[in-house]
Amino acid sequence: MPGARINKLLITALVVLSFSKISAQSLPAGLPILEELLRRKQLISNDSLESSFLVRSIPISDSSYWLAEPLALPFNEINGFSLGVLPFVNTTRILTGRPYGWADYGLIPNPGFQTYFSGGVEAKYKFINFTFRPEFVLAQNAGFQTGLSEMNPSEISSRFFLWNWGDNPERYGNGVYFRPWWGQSKLTFQYGAFEVGGSTGNIWWGPGQFNALTFSNNAQGFPHWTINTVKPAKTFLGNLELQMVIGRLRNSGFAPSQNEDLNERFFRPFSGDFRYLNAITFSWNPKWVKGFYFGFSRTFQQYNENRGNSFYDWFPIFEGFQKKNFFEGGNSVDFDGNGRDQTITIFGRLVVPRTKSELYFEYGRRDHAFNWREYILNPEHARAFIFGFNQLFEIQEIGKMIQIRSEVTHQQESVNRYIRYGGISGGIRGGLSWHTHNPARGFVNYGQPLGVGIGTGSNLQTVEVSLVEGVDKMGLLFERLANNQDFYYKALLQFTERKPWIDLSLGFLYDKQFDNLLLSSKLQLIHARNYQWQLDPASTPDFPKGQNLTSVIAQASIIYFWNKKEEKGKVFDLKNFQPF
């Protein structure tokens, strides 16, 4: 009977699962605890890991995924076929009062309780790699107070301008939010340093530790075809890493505001079509400059209904960089009419093990320059940037290290809008923001930005100071988030009594290893000054006073390894850990 055969196959698979050994792994992009640990290790010894951290996920060997025995997978290889259970991953968050949070595999920033689960199996047979790692997000998705009711029609129109050319809803529906997904799953075929195949997992391009300008783990992963390196490709010029993807992005389907009357008046509904994505990134580590990594990326998205069938329609990443090349008869109607949204970034990272330091930057532009002269004279147009550092100080007396890391993310439009757009209606109000476009709308997947997750037109400064030893960490996190700055100036709120909405936060960090379980936790206090640009009831024109709000995030991430621990003592010894 067919049913009996299927049952036998399932039983056989379970038996093989119990005795086989996985032979290759890749660390999911932005995975809590382990990615940070590997990055710290690289600051101590640059020979320990060749990855640039500019193209993630990070391919690693068995021992480096589980970091050391005895947390290696307990399965054995059978006739060249290996299969193993991947660690169980969970992130749970409780947030009070208002939205906050990013870089969390599709957890939504709304208040209330929410949790993320992921786990699965990974198999390899000769050149075939298969990972089945589904995930799901369950969120309370509570509503929250906004300041729209205090705004005049012109200010509300400015708010909806960015909402209509993006996809960042205040609330993801009216009830409990539940989204299952294939997660970090893939089927690829490997040859040497390269692989080709399909995936639904997250990718992370650029050196950022907390944000990225194009791709990060902020949104749910998207289905895509990929050709990429699985390890640095060695050439006579140095090590190369690259990835090219063709993907499919979806809108959230939710109206942006929690006020239905305003949605009916100001919201422009989405197209029902999906968005076609084509993107490429490249990283180079010159052989004569050890520890220096440099690269670039280019992305295009557009609604699929606007895409043609020529080579450049399928692969716009290879078309010209100068917009003048597409002008015919003094205009670019045909080019602009296809609705393509382009982003170009360049980035670099310098690792200095002698001083246990790293410096990095990422600079991006979301619009074609007319020509190279315009790009050189006006590089700040439509730009965003990230820069940061990581520094370790060894304390030999206690065998631990102090880690200080910081990052600045800036998306707010530059002051060149005063000249470029001109006039009160243009120059002061400005144009579009990072991750927004007309008509391709937001560079998002299901309503969450693929790269920077802090909010449209927002700026962030982050500083972390921690005491670390292997996985174990105790520290403080300081953040300053200037919310939706592009909207603030577009609505001309600087000419009113309302001051910018600034979040000041203090977080307490605690990471710990408990045998086979790794814990990463955070308790964060967030004080919002001038929350949602609202005025305090006691405010007067002569003495304006904004309304403040204090909220709390309690978050814990765990990674559990399914095998039994065979030895006592710390497994994750950062000094003795050798990933290759």
DSSP string, 199-254: E-S--EESS-SS--SS--SSSPP--EEEEEESSPEEETTEEEEEEEEEEEE-----
Residue 320: per-residue pLDDT? 83
> 221-234: per-residue pLDDT in tens?
999 999 999 988 99
Q: Is 529 exposed, middle or buried (0-12, 13-18, 19+ CB in 10 A)?
A: middle
Residue 561: per-residue pLDDT? 87
* 578 closest CA partner among 67, 59, 200, 101: 67
Paired tokens of 12: 């056989």
Kindly give the pairing relationship between strand 448-449 and strand 444-445. Answer: antiparallel
Q: What pTM was estimated for this model as a whole?
A: 0.89
Cα 37 from Cα 53, distance rounded (Å): 12
Residue 414: per-residue pLDDT? 86
* 17 closest CA partner among 171, 138, 120: 120
| Rounded (10°) CA dihedral 60, 359, 379, 279 | 0
Q: Are 107 and 170 in contact (CB under 8 A)?
A: no
> Distances from the Cα of 564 to the Cαs of 73, 516, 518, 568, in angstroms?
10, 7, 14, 11
Residue 276: per-residue pLDDT? 97
* 366 closest CA partner among 397, 345, 339, 388: 345
Secondary structure, 3-state, 240-279:
EEEEEEEEEECCCCCCCCCCHHHHHHHCCCCCCCCEEEEE
> Distances from the Cα of 482 to the Cαs of 375, 411, 522, in angstroms?
28, 10, 21
Residue 337: per-residue pLDDT? 63
Paired tokens of 308: 């043609």
Cα 388 from Cα 435, distance rounded (Å): 21
Cα 570 from Cα 460, distance rounded (Å): 36
Tally Cβ neighbours within 10 Å of residue 536: 12
Residue 47: per-residue pLDDT? 60
Residue 505: per-residue pLDDT? 97
H/E stretch holding 81 reads strand 81-95
Where the chain has pLDDT below 50, the residues are 1-23, 62-74, 424-426, 564-580
Task: CATH number for 16-560: choose from 3.30.70.120, 1.10.150.20, 3.40.50.300, 2.40.160.130.
Answer: 2.40.160.130
> 368-389: per-residue pLDDT in tens?
777 788 788 788 888 999 999 9
Omega before 439 within 30 of 0, i.e. cis: yes
Q: Are 166 and 177 in contact (CB under 8 A)?
A: no
Cα 271 from Cα 268, distance rounded (Å): 9
Name the residue type at position 483: N
For the chain, the structural domain boundaries read 16-560
Residue 293: per-residue pLDDT? 95
Residue 375: per-residue pLDDT? 80
